[in-house]
Structure 1
Amino acid sequence: MSDPGRTTPPPRQPEWHLVVPVKAPSVGKSRLARDLDRIGLGADHEEISRALAKDTLAAACRTVGARCVVLVTSDGSAAEEWSAQGVAVVPDPGLGLNAAISLGLAAVTAGSPVAALLGDLPALTPPDLQQALAAAEMHEQSFVPDAGGEGTVMRAAVGGRFRPHFGPGSADLHEEAGATRLGLDLPRLRTDVDDVASLARALRLGVGSATTAAVRGLDLLGWAHAGHGPRL
């Protein structure tokens, strides 16, 4: 017989861990660098690349807490900055994106809910990420496709591990591996930045403070609307 004077505590929410791979700015975002050079806006692609990662990591830390974020990177300055904030840092040996994610996954306590998140989501906000993680809690294995539906921005597992298949055609590869596709209406999460067109889309959604500062003075939205890029 239950005690009417006692209340049942709400079920404990799973403590998600997030693995975020970030390339060093000198070697990352090559397509973005080529685009910026081609359109001649005088932008520093390394500064922008660094800012994309900073805004993504900031959103991740505000969502799950810094101690539940694992940064995989070969960028010494980023490693030092985020380690000082409580983020776990795993050195990236430069064997590719999926190898980096796998190293990050290995650093998470076995059995913990874990998600791999791309490091170039400057429009991401904690409410969007929290909504995606809540949806992922309903499935043993899941993923969130990018805006185009072919790539992947987040791959998640509840109480287990997974083999990441990020890269061209990753959405189909993750689905074939048994992960549930989460077609969420979350454009801030699903807009990763690979080139100037996707950067312009992210800017239209609204980006974090680091990316805002990095592109200050560059009229990328004007460039796109003038017919030099895709209509937004």
Structure 2
Amino acid sequence: MSEPGRTPSPTRQPEWHIVVPVKAASVGKSRLTRELDALTPGVDHETISRALAHDTLVAACQTVGAAHVILVTSDEPAASEWARHGATVVGDPGLGLNAAIARGLETVALGTPVAALLGDVPCLTAADLAAALSAAVAHEQSFVPDASGDGTVLRAAAAGRFTPRFGPGSAARHETNGATRLDLDLPRLRTDVDDVASLTRALELGAGSATTAAVQALDLLGWAHAGHGPRL
């Protein structure tokens, strides 16, 4: 594996810090786990869960540099791996997604541009994340909704801080809270994975190497194109 965050790129946004919350693989992605079990019993859920986070973190590190990525997790393998790559690793307080993000935000100095990125965006590229942060610079507070338009994949503050309000219906909450909605044409950023349909969409867009390898044996794209899965 190449070292995240060390590849020079004209799209780098080094002034930003990015908080990425990742649940322990043993308990994360419960809906995806149920749906995969219904399709193929015995799937290695933990490997898939960690792969989704891995590809997301690679993109984040390539965009801002590993030293500006804050991973909030209770997953020991992920914590050890990303600490070796130079990311800041913070323990998940175990009080839910927003509390985890808030804990990560506490580690970033006031006045530093900071964003919170969901940890399950496996087709994200550094170029797309950099484009979103470039758009966010023009707004003190902003967010990028997910593909449905209802949720949130990225919440950013070019100045000041923010209260994370992720979860179902979070786009409306973030907008009500004063953040500018950025409906960017960045499907790789806006495709977070919660179920088999969104995982298949991520694969169609081009998921990262870890996710692709983790689900290769399932042939989800073949299954979908045969008419058994989500419409692509």
Which whole-Å CA distance do the structure 2 matches of 1:19 and 1:120 have between them? 13
User: Which residue of 1 is the match for residue 133 of structure 2?
Assistant: 133
Say if 1:136 and 1:142, in contact at 8 Å, map to a contact too.
yes
User: Which residue of 2 is the match for residue 216 of structure 1?
Assistant: 216
Stretch of structure 1 that moved more, 209-218 or 160-169: 209-218
Deviations 1:13-37 (A, max 9, x none): 7700000000001010000000001
User: Which residue of 1 is the match for residue 184 of structure 2?
Assistant: 184
Deviations 1:32-63 (A, max 9, x none): 00000111264211110000000000100000
Structure 1 residues 216 and 41: alpha-carbon distance in aligned structure 2, compared to 1, 3 A threshold: farther
Note the 1:1-232 alignment, pairs <5 A: 15-40=15-40, 42-232=42-232
Q: 2:154 is aligned with what amino acid?
A: M
Say if 1:14 and 1:113, in contact at 8 Å, map to a contact too.
no
Which whole-Å CA distance do the structure 2 matches of 1:195 and 1:221 have between them? 14
> Helix, strand or coil: the match of 1:72?
strand
> Helix, strand or coil: the match of 2:133?
helix
Deviations 1:111-149 (A, max 9, x none): 100000000000000000000000000000000000000
Deviations 1:169-205 (A, max 9, x none): 0000000001000000000000000011100000000
Which whole-Å CA distance do the structure 1 matches of 2:77 and 2:113 have between them? 28
Which whole-Å CA distance do the structure 2 matches of 1:34 and 1:27 have between them? 12
Large movers: runs of 4+ above 4 Å:
none
Q: 1:54 is aligned with what amino acid?
A: H
User: Which residue of 1 is the match for residue 5 of structure 2?
Assistant: none
Percent sequence identity is 74
> Helix, strand or coil: the match of 1:216?
helix
Say if 1:67 and 1:87, in contact at 8 Å, map to a contact too.
yes
- Extract unaligned runs of 5+ from structure 2: 1-12
Q: 2:112 is aligned with what amino acid?
A: S
Q: 2:131 is aligned with what amino acid?
A: Q
Which whole-Å CA distance do the structure 2 matches of 1:225 and 1:16 have between them? 39
Deviations 1:60-101 (A, max 9, x none): 000000000000000111111111111001100210000000
TM-score by length of 1: 0.93
TM-score by length of 2: 0.93
> How many positions carry a matched residue from both structures?
220
Say if 2:14 and 2:65, in contact at 8 Å, map to a contact too.
no
